[in-house]
Chain A
Amino acid sequence: MRKILVLFAHPRFEHSVVNNAMVVMEKQLSFITFQDLYESYPDFNIDVKREQELLLAHDVIIWQHPFYWYSCPPLLKQWIDLVLEFNWAYGPNGDALKEKYILNVVTTGGAREAYQTDGRNRFTINQMLAPFDQTATLCKMVYLPPFAVQGTHRLQPNELAIKVEEYKALLNFLSIETSPLKTLLHLEIINDHFIQPK
């Protein structure tokens, strides 16, 4: 069984309906370690050693965050800056994270249609996540397509429940050792593989 580390970054979690529903589900899964970054490091003073130990102890890493200004909240960027150290995560001797899987799990206010080359936001979600993709790649990790809950401003409760189910299916799939994760690399967003039968 693969162990999953969720690095959750949300500066205003108590106001996020969608992330709340997702987190409640995540916390029930035994194979998940849930690290709430804004709760652990409200002063941005990240305990690098502890974070590195967490990374080493897991096989799949998830960056879960709202997609603020087409990127992550600042604490997650701080985490990337500080934790992924030279000659540990990357560089000539930086093999600590080699061949671990990693993906972004994001929530966006805009709908999926807006995140298209001909949409309002002019780029797709994974185009915009290119820096994360490359960060993972530099660390010799396998970067999977993102899971995105989109159009959160207009999401109805039943629709949210479906999204949470899809996410749960993804997490279960990730956790199974034999799941062929590399077959998902071509997807635009990983959701498409886990669409639940209505």
Chain B
Amino acid sequence: MGNGFLIQAMVYLSAAIICVPVAKKLGMGSVLGYLIAGIVVGPFLLGFIGEEGEDIMHFAEFGVVMMLFLIGLELEPKKLWKIRKLILGTGLSQVLVTTFAVFAISLVLGMNWQASLAIGMSLAMSSTAIVLQSMKEKNLMQSSAGRSSFAILLFQDIAVIPILAILPLLAIHTINADAAVSHSILDGLPGWLQTLALLGAITSIIVAGRFGISPLLRIVAKSRIRELFTASALLIVTGIAFLMGMVGLSPALGTFLAGVILANSEFRHELESDIEPFKGLLLGLFFMAVGASINFQLIAEKPFVIATLTLGIILLKASIIFTIGRFSKLSHDQNMIMSISLSQVGEFAFVTISFIGQLDILNREDTELMMAVTAMSMSITPVLILLNEKYVLPHLGTKKIDERPADAIDEKNKIIIAGFSHFGSTLGRFLRANGVNATILDHDSDRVDLLRKMGFKVFYGDATRVDLLESAGAREANILISAIDSHETNLVLVETIQKHFPNLQLMVRTKNRFDAYELMNKEVKHIYREHLESSVRMGVDVLKKLGFRSYTVQRAAQHFIGYDEAAMQELHKLWHDTNLYISAARKQIEIQEELLNNDFAQKPSFNDHAWDSDEMKRVFAGK
């Protein structure tokens, strides 16, 4: 490990540490921060790093692979199956229409058809890294824009396979082709064997994911050596990426597949938390490399051409996606978010364009030009997203803040509800039925519109953002209710509130006791497990059907809930002390066991002696 490596690492890390917080502070998002950091340290500004930018980019693309693995982890096979039409419909039409449009324009501009088609296919791709990272950061993944964008990106990843297969066929000078295409060990093999190998690779991922990985992880988890687990997680990702690369498939697609298969596994959360930091760093590195690779010299030479091309492509891609969005009935603002987000040329173009160059489909000058345009379009995207959010969306569809004239109710809105899906809406309706009008924060624009029509005071956006909380009146309010479904968002929200609005009392919905423990670690006092009351109520009805008297069961239920809440405080200590690394699943079973033992020892339902004259009879009989 030479000094050079250390210096480079230092340069990248410090650039990131300086630029990203500043960018976030200015509301620009981390992607733009990384890009700017890359430009600053790159060869054209400070020159700390030189031409190795592209190598680093290839290395850092592994971040994208990891990201898709993580996305796969969050997507169970069932959910993936549900969105198959979306993937096929919007994805296919986006790739085909964009390819064709760019192809046609290139022909008109005087290129031969081979080059036009190659460029068309390259430019149809968008940047998975930039889009998903930006959307995750803004909590848009669950919105309709997020889902459609994801579907398109996923299809693009699949489309990479045939595109890489088609490109060599376009080569004008077949002599060069062999050298360039040798990216796969299968090339020498006959076609049927190649297909078989591809299927074999995919099958082995599915089989390994199903039957191999979980037992392996269980063994590793038992060793209780934390870094071993991290190592296994990395091994899974690198192994699959390698396997996919070997048969010439997209590594990102392979790890995505593995992620989906492991989404049901008990190790999902561990894998997530282990890969997450690597993914974050590599993606950051990737964005910085993109920033550093922008050829400002070329831009300075041909500013007009590059600007026109970049803006033209962005406009073209955005309008095609917008049209597709219209067909899939996205509302205007969601559609705008999607179109702008996907409007850039993706990182995949770096690969295809250099490949095209090697194949001599495109001359050197044009290749350089396309590279510059790609990098520019990627760098501009975060800016466009920002502009769209600040200046376009407020005039379109759902506004962040309702601009109705403030009325008297405003001053009494001492309560803020974050999240207005099933849980929040029931709660909000109950409060309103009792004359308490809470301020609502929600990030589903369709729901926000409906609520505003119904006269609710609603703020649209991500509830964890300080500025949104501020404008919703978090300074003056007394209570903030989090009815948010996602535990992770809840944790972020709790931290934000505790840091910026310590005046607010927090009341937090939570899914289960394990999430509750984490909230208790953060010293949240009012925690509501969403299932507790209804499951006990169901138990009450069961006992009634079995012939128990209603009031007896009612009292038993009251005791049980009281006892369970007390037990939660007790077991929290146990959870807290379990600092050792063991899998969440095992931890949960331990706690479950402890609970059942407690039930047995304390018999919360059987020590109710109210209206019980047995003891009296016994005492008087004994006399």
Q: Point out residues on A near B: beta carbons under 8 Å.
A: 43, 45, 48, 81-82, 86-87, 91-92
Q: Which residue of B lies closest to A92 (CB)?
A: B619
Q: Which of B371-379, B425-433, B468-476, B610-618 contacts A (4 or more CB under 8 A)?
A: B610-618
Q: Cβ of B562 < 8 Å from any Cβ of A?
A: yes
Sorted nearest first, the 8 A-B pairs with minimum C-beta distance are A45-B558, A86-B616, A82-B610, A86-B615, A43-B558, A92-B619, A81-B611, A91-B619
Q: Any chain A CB within 8 A of the CB of B603?
A: no
Q: Is B555 an interface residue, CB under 8 A from the partner?
A: yes
Is B611 within 8 A of A87, CB to CB?
no
Min CB distance A43 to B, Å, is 6
Q: Which of A81, A82, A86 has the most CB of B within 10 A?
A: A86
Residue in B555, B559, B610 whose Cβ sees the most chain A Cβ within 10 Å = B610
Chain A interface mostly: loop
A82 to B558 Cα, complex, angstroms: 15
Chain A: minimal CB distance from B558 (Å): 4
19 interchain pairs (CB within 8 A)? A43-B558, A45-B555, A45-B558, A45-B559, A45-B562, A48-B610, A81-B610, A81-B611, A82-B610, A86-B613, A86-B615, A86-B616, A86-B619, A87-B615, A87-B619, A91-B616, A91-B619, A92-B619, A92-B623
In the bound complex, CA of A48 to CA of B608 (Å)? 11
Q: CA–CA, A43 to B561, complex, Å?
A: 12
Please report the C-alpha to C-alpha distance between residue A81 and residue B559 in the assembled complex, in whole angstroms: 17
Q: Considering only CB atoms, which chain B residue lies closest to A43 in the complex?
A: B558
Q: Which residues of A contact B562 (CB under 8 A)?
A: 45
Interface residues of B in 597-623 (CB under 8 A from A): 610-611, 613, 615-616, 619, 623
In the assembled complex, which residues on chain A have CB atoms less than 8 Å from the CB atom of B623?
92
CB distance from A117 to the nearest CB of B (A): 35
A91→B620 CA distance, assembly (Å): 9
Name the residue on A nearest B551 (C-beta): A44
Complex CA–CA separation, A92 to B621 (angstroms): 13
Q: For residue A48, which residues in chain B have a CB less than 8 angstroms away from its CB?
A: 610
Chain A nearest Cβ from B560, distance in angstroms: 11
Binary CB contact string for chain B from 544 to 582 against chain A (1 if under 8 A, 0 otherwise): 000000000001001100100000000000000000000
CA–CA, A48 to B559, complex, Å? Answer: 12
Provide the bound-state CA to CA distance between A185 and B555, in Å.
Answer: 39
What residues on B are CB-neighbors of A91 within 8 Å? 616, 619
Residues of B within 8 A of A81 (CB): 610-611
Closest CB of chain A to B150's CB: distance in Å?
A: 46
Q: How far is the CA of A92 from the CA of B555 in the complex (A)?
A: 28
Within the complex, the shortest CB–CB distance from A90 to chain B, in Å, comes to: 10
5 A-B pairs besides A48-B610, A82-B610, A91-B616 with CB distance below 8 A are: A45-B555, A45-B558, A86-B615, A91-B619, A92-B623
Docked Cα-Cα span, A87 to B616, in Å, equals 8
A86 to chain B: which residues have CB within 8 Å? 613, 615-616, 619
Q: In the complex, what residues of A have CB within 8 A of residue B619's CB?
A: 86-87, 91-92
Chain B residues with CB under 8 Å of A82's CB are 610
Distance of A8 from chain B, by nearest CB (Å): 22
Closest A-chain residue to B623, C-beta based? A92
Chain A residues with Cβ below 8 Å from B558 are: 43, 45
Chain B residues whose CB sits within 8 angstroms of the CB of A92 once the complex forms: 619, 623
Residues of B near A43 (CB, < 8 A) are: 558
CA distance A65 to B138 in the complex (A): 56
Determine the chain A residues whose CB is within 8 A of the CB of B615 once the complex forms. Answer: 86-87
What are the residues of chain A within 8 A of B559 when measuring CB–CB?
A: 45
CA distance A86 to B619 in the complex (A): 10
CA distance A81 to B551 in the complex (A): 15
Give the CA-CA distance A59 to B619 in the complex, in Å. 29
Please indicate the chain A residues that have their CB under 8 angstroms from the CB of B613 in the complex.
86
Q: Which residue in chain A gives the minimum CB-CB distance to B562?
A: A45
- Bound-state CA distance A43–B562 (Å) is 12
CB neighbours (8 Å) of B610 from chain A are 48, 81-82
B616: A residues at CB distance < 8 A? 86, 91
What is the minimal beta-carbon distance from B301 to any residue of chain A, in angstroms?
Answer: 78
Q: How far is the CA of A195 from the CA of B196 in the complex (A)?
A: 105
Closest A residue, CB atoms, query B559: A45
Tell me, rounded to whole Å, the shortest Cβ–Cβ distance linking B616 to chain A: 5
- In the complex, what distance in Å separates the CA atom of A2 from the CA atom of B155? 81
Bound together, the chains give a CA A69 to CA B623 distance in angstroms of: 39
Closest to B612 in A: A86
B120 to chain A, nearest CB (A): 69
Residue of B at shortest CB range from A46?
B610
B434 to nearest A CB, angstroms? 13
Shortest distance between the CB of B564 and any CB in chain A (Å): 14
Complex Cα distance A45/B556, Å?
Answer: 10
CB 8 Å contact bits of B104-139 with A (1 = contact, 0 = none): 000000000000000000000000000000000000
The CA-CA distance from A48 to B623 in the complex, in Å, is 27
Taking CB atoms and an 8 Å cut-off, the chain B residues in 516-559 that contact chain A are 555, 558-559
Docked pose: A43 CA to B615 CA in angstroms? 26
Bound complex: CA A87 to CA B613 (Å): 11
Which residue of A is nearest B615, CB measured? A86
Name which residue of chain B comes closest to A48, CB basis. B610
